[in-house]
Structure 1
């Protein structure tokens, strides 16, 4: 029911289509984050207008509210939020990491306190799959053990081994053929551990593979190097997903290293804080220089924000009007969607490296080195 068609490669970048029962996902692609069943501030039609094929929901947050049983009774996550395309659900592993002061990880489960009311929650691999099946997502993620970086070697090895064991438990618990299951490669910044984890997971029947445990404190260059040493050990005929990443630069650098899918809260979170992504780098719309600026954020951008002037958008934020964050969120997701569309075309036309170099220069970075 799921298939990845690799259509073309250019300078290490892959152009493909991830085919699902609910529709095709063009890759490279970016998934807007709808943590609790909504991409913050936007209607589902507005999200679709940004060019997104697939969105993301979160097991931990939806388990807390409204509860996965409630979501199931409302017809599943698709019907509840009105999105008829594919949905991927994160397993809750990152939330276990981010709530480090409130959690305890054992071989059996991650036990932690709700950030809402302090109630005790036990998240086993089996329960994570149970929740995701109740939500009805098209792609479920295995539960993994995420740690902060840098970390001691013994800590990284322990989390890696547990992540592999938990992946097997998730695979054994999953029994819905209409829901794909993606494994997650861990191993910190150690190339050998990444190879070990990727190689072992690749022997198991997963429909896709994620590179996890990055964007958790390491430098961007360390992330890129780790992605490169990981993807070479993953099956070429399965989609590769880099979790929780990132900036426009991060997307292009990791596409060059063989990544197909991304998600991140950065476009909407920055949009809510008056920062707009552009080809010339980010624009901070609260700055006084935009007070009487009649230009849009970007010429020829089809988003809702770019129908208005920078001066008007600045006014909305300074007046604490909710429309400001809505418009900027729509712009940033549209920018990411257009960046992915342009990237796919560049790969098809064997000019990805030149395309990426031009974008990086516009954002103020040195062009990337050629990636073998």
Structure 2
């Protein structure tokens, strides 16, 4: 069988559920596993492999193995459904290359599971009978794609992901339909699978600092993730504050997707680093990680010029805050740079508004922009 990777309640709680089953005579709804009778040991071994792969590009393949070891199947498929009919193939097993390519380029647009997700945002178990309807798009999927792929029935698990997207894992049969009881079986497995999925997302976001080559906490980094189609998947609080202060940043999103440049100039003091993400970065395969950099100014020279516009002299901390406000840095970023509380930054901004006779940070930045060093 061909394998494709794209170039497509806690463990203790689940263990408690599992311990109530009969180890020597486990029940499997739908169909038996491909290898015959599964055992407690083999299931835990597969669970362990999936847990070990958390945060890696191999994670969703391992999660499919975990789901598939309890239910007999012929093919597996993992996709990411995004906004506006965008779909990325993460992993498949069993399908020939031409079937995967036809799905990726044509039939993803009429995939009823993807359309169902975009309408309902419902997580958990979904079977084909819930999503199949009598529309031209669905008939194209069932009468053409499924027949070409030799799929008789398919069932899926939907796992919500950031940016209004989701990860969907599918088991598919080429011979007989899945039984009605399979839903109960998957519902029992779902808490464990969802828990691993959430752990994977947390570990993946924890790696953003290293991807951005910045050792600060992800919480204070001014970063954003966009998928290959330009949809925003994640924007940190610092990024959103910088975008509100510098409107040109919001208008650069299309340039980020199409220009291929590693650096984009935003303003005299702000530069955007654009870092391509690999196709196996499941949150946004083939997308972009964007990180803001600021060009430092001589704080003493800038403060001296700025003080000429002030109604009264500035304290040292007011000067420091002002210099960072000039760079369009967020309150969280300023607090991190100056090692003070975020509330202190907000209080000092209010003091600066009074001293410069402005009503907002936007007005203050506009006034400071007139300073030429």
Common fold by TM > 0.5: no
Higher helix share: 2
The TM-score with structure 2 as length reference comes to 0.27
Indicate the structure whose relative CO is greater, using CA pairs within 8 Å and at least 6 residues apart.
Answer: 1
The TM-score with structure 1 as length reference comes to 0.27
